[in-house]
Amino acid sequence: MGWEGPEKREDIVMKEKNMTRRSFLKAGAVASALGMMAAAPVAANAAAPTVTAKQAEDEENGLLDFLKKPKYIFLFIGDGMGTAQIQSARFYKGTVENNGAITEADLSFTSFPEVGSVTTYDSTSFCPDSASTATSIATGHKTESGVINMCPWTRDVPYETIAEKLHAQKGYKVGVVSTVNIDHATPAAFYAHQKTRKNYYQIGVELANSGFEYFAGGEFQKVNGDGTGPNNHEVAAQAGYNVVTTQAGAAALTAGAGKTLIIAENLADGKAMNYAMDAAAGEWQLTDYVKKGIELLDNTKGFFLMTESGKIDWACHANDAAASIHDVLEMSNAVKAAEEFYNAHPNETLILVTADHETGGMGIGYKTTNYDTFLTNLTHQKMSYAKFDSTYVQGYIANKTPFETAMADVKSVFGLTLPTDPDAANAGKLLLTDYEVENLRKAYERTLEVGASSQSKMSQEDYELYGTYIPFSMALCHAINHKSGMDHTTYAHTGASVNIYAKGVGAEKFRGVFDNTEIYHKLAELTNVQ
């Protein structure tokens, strides 16, 4: 006769022992393994085979493999990085490196032994935001879009993050790195707890109070708060952080430097770091901050380093395929730095690479290129839309620059060429059609009318064509994307699943199809935090 009643027997046992289902199952697995280990010599003696010490050791190690705990954990989050963002970077890299031949290149993480697929929805929508999705990854709980590590609806119960638990319970050092603002939603989800992601100053205060050993990235968004108290730099310094705001100062830091906050010296749009394609020679990028984090965090107890490539998302919001591709490639380089550490500590290290959600609805393929792609066209784009805005478009707006004059700059920056250009015969696939020219002219005229204003001055048609961005820049991104055989469906996030790639101790737990909350639970199981 089976167990009757509303609760299964095992559930009652778990309650009595104050155990979760996960810990219950884990305890059973451990007991089973230990039992097998204890019984193994008896069985061996009965059969009386010859077993060498090395064989016995190998068998024991095999039984204990699943009991190993990663001492060093790298979690890379490509914000907005869906499968299309990864594939476009692979196709671009392979094709460019092989002189236009159709070639798929590997990125550092696409060769990892374990791959899974992760759903990203939150309690509000199938198209979630970064606050809620990062909360899912960091805490194992769903919440509303815009909420950081607080329960949905009432927003009155904070959730403890995997980083906080590893720090408090296991003594791991913790680092948080981002190419966008260090108080942006994704990095904040590993140390802050706020009813809204817009509480930027308060998030900065929580950063200082976290006690985590290493932070690096873009500037605080509301560094001065309301101006009545110390700024976020001062708050961090008062909490014992070395606050470093120059690249030279960051380079000079060595192991034993103590708690450190690095704000990138070279800031761009939104006080974030530069896009990878915009970075000057010698300018520190994501890889450099990961390497410095490893240097400062390395210790015998272990560390947890969360690294976000946040401007993949920003680029895809703006439908800038080239900027997205270059930031994915830079994140691949950053993962290589983690792999170098892994090679020195293969039995103690876990590397995870995933995304919080997909952005932009990126597609490889476009109507007018049919079954063809021409990704090498993207090599002609020399800067991101954001740098083009600041370098060129602001001047066009101020000076009411004629369209034809602006298009001379467009030719040098994007390769897109007017049919009337003296060099039109050599433009190849970047020669603009009359239809494309008129679209660009319309966007340019609208830009001079509305300037860099918010969406409030733009029509529904404006939004569908250009989002909340400067019309001319968006039209240019769309033009070169389409000529390359790429497109986007939205200026926002989508509900598409994302991949997770895993290498190292416990990597096998991340294969298959599961929800993003399971990333937290799997890490908690591997590290035995409660």
Euclidean distance between CA atoms 476 and 79, whole angstroms: 24
Residues ≥6 apart with Cβ < 8 Å to 517: 136, 137, 140, 141, 142
Alpha-carbon dihedral sign for residues 332, 337, 343, 347: negative
pLDDT at residue 66 in the model:
52
Taking only the tens place, the pLDDT of each residue in 108-127 is 999 999 999 999 999 999 99
**Sheet of strand 242-244: strand arrangement:** 242-244, 260-263, 214-218, 173-181, 303-309, 72-78, 349-354, 498-504, 114-119, 512-515
State the pairing for strand pair 498-504/114-119: antiparallel
- 376-396 burial by CB neighbour count: b if 16+ within 10 A, else e? bbbebbebbbbbbbeebbeeb
Euclidean distance between CA atoms 486 and 381, whole angstroms: 14
Mean pLDDT of 394-423: 97
| Domain termination residue (choose one: 67, 83, 114) | 67
Alpha-carbon dihedral sign for residues 63, 66, 67, 73: positive
pLDDT at residue 35 in the model:
45
Comparison of pLDDT for 24 and 220, the residue scoring more: 220
In a domain, 2, yes or no: no
Band (4; pLDDT cuts 50, 70, 90): very low
154 and 53 inside one domain: no
63 and 165 inside one domain: no
User: What is the token pair recorded at 257?
Assistant: 């430097």
In a domain, 1, yes or no: no
Taking only the tens place, the pLDDT of each residue in 484-517 is 999 999 999 999 999 999 999 999 999 999 999 9
pLDDT at residue 7 in the model:
41
Q: Tell whether the model's pLDDT for residue 77 goes beyond 90.
A: yes
pLDDT at residue 54 in the model:
57
Question: Hey, which bits of 203-288 come out as E strands?
Answer: 214-218, 242-244, 260-263
- The CATH number that applies at residue 252 is 3.40.720.10
Residue 86 · residue 328 · CB < 8 Å:
yes
| Domain termination residue (choose one: 67, 94, 114) | 67
In a domain, 309, yes or no: yes
pLDDT at residue 318 in the model:
97
Task: Give the length of the chain.
Answer: 530
In a domain, 165, yes or no: yes
441 and 506 inside one domain: no
Band (457; pLDDT cuts 50, 70, 90): confident
Helix (H) or strand (E) holding 81: none
Alpha-carbon dihedral sign for residues 466, 472, 473, 475: positive
Euclidean distance between CA atoms 132 and 143, whole angstroms: 5
In a domain, 106, yes or no: yes
Count up the domains in the chain and report the number.
3
User: What is the token pair recorded at 107?
Assistant: 């990125």
Nearest to 236 by CA among 212, 271, 217, 200: 212
Euclidean distance between CA atoms 267 and 311, whole angstroms: 13
128 and 244 inside one domain: yes
| Domain termination residue (choose one: 48, 67, 86) | 67
In a domain, 4, yes or no: no
Mean pLDDT of the chain: 90
Residue 292 · residue 248 · CB < 8 Å:
no
Taking only the tens place, the pLDDT of each residue in 345-356 is 999 999 999 999
266 and 208 inside one domain: yes
479 and 498 inside one domain: no
Q: Tell whether the model's pLDDT for residue 232 goes beyond 60.
A: yes
Band (459; pLDDT cuts 50, 70, 90): confident
202 and 242 inside one domain: yes
302 and 451 inside one domain: no
307 and 333 inside one domain: yes
The pTM for the full model equals: 0.88
Euclidean distance between CA atoms 230 and 224, whole angstroms: 7
**Maximum distance among all Cα pairs of the chain, rounded to whole angstroms:** 93
Q: Tell whether the model's pLDDT for residue 455 goes beyond 70.
A: no
Q: Tell whether the model's pLDDT for residue 215 goes beyond 50.
A: yes
| Stretch among 65-74, 106-115, 247-256, 361-370 having the lowest mean pLDDT | 65-74
In a domain, 3, yes or no: no
Nearest to 77 by CA among 285, 353, 339: 353
What angle is formed at CA 483 by the lines to CA 482 and CA 488, rounded to 5 degrees? 15
322 and 219 inside one domain: yes
Nearest to 380 by CA among 431, 433, 456: 431
218 and 274 inside one domain: yes
Proportion of the chain above pLDDT 90, given as a percent? 85
Q: Tell whether the model's pLDDT for residue 24 goes beyond 60.
A: no
- Checking 104-110 for CB contacts under 8 A at 24+ apart, the result is 107/328, 107/329, 107/332, 107/335, 108/332, 108/333, 108/335, 108/336, 108/339, 109/76, 109/332, 109/335, 109/351, 109/353, 109/501, 109/503, 110/86, 110/501
pLDDT at residue 15 in the model:
41
Proportion of the chain above pLDDT 70, given as a percent? 86
26 and 61 inside one domain: yes
The span from the first CA to the last CA of the chain, in angstroms, equals 35
Mean pLDDT of 27-43: 44
Residue with tokens 């319309």: 442
The residue type of 188 is A
* Number of Cβ within a 10 Å radius of residue 316: 30
Taking only the tens place, the pLDDT of each residue in 326-341 is 999 999 999 999 999 9
pLDDT at residue 255 in the model:
96
In a domain, 306, yes or no: yes
Residue 356's domain spans which residues?
72-362+492-527
pLDDT at residue 451 in the model:
73
Taking only the tens place, the pLDDT of each residue in 147-166 is 999 999 999 999 999 999 99
Helix (H) or strand (E) holding 512: strand 512-515
What angle is formed at CA 321 by the lines to CA 316 and CA 323, rounded to 5 degrees? 85
Q: Tell whether the model's pLDDT for residue 34 goes beyond 50.
A: no
Q: Tell whether the model's pLDDT for residue 2 goes beyond 90.
A: no
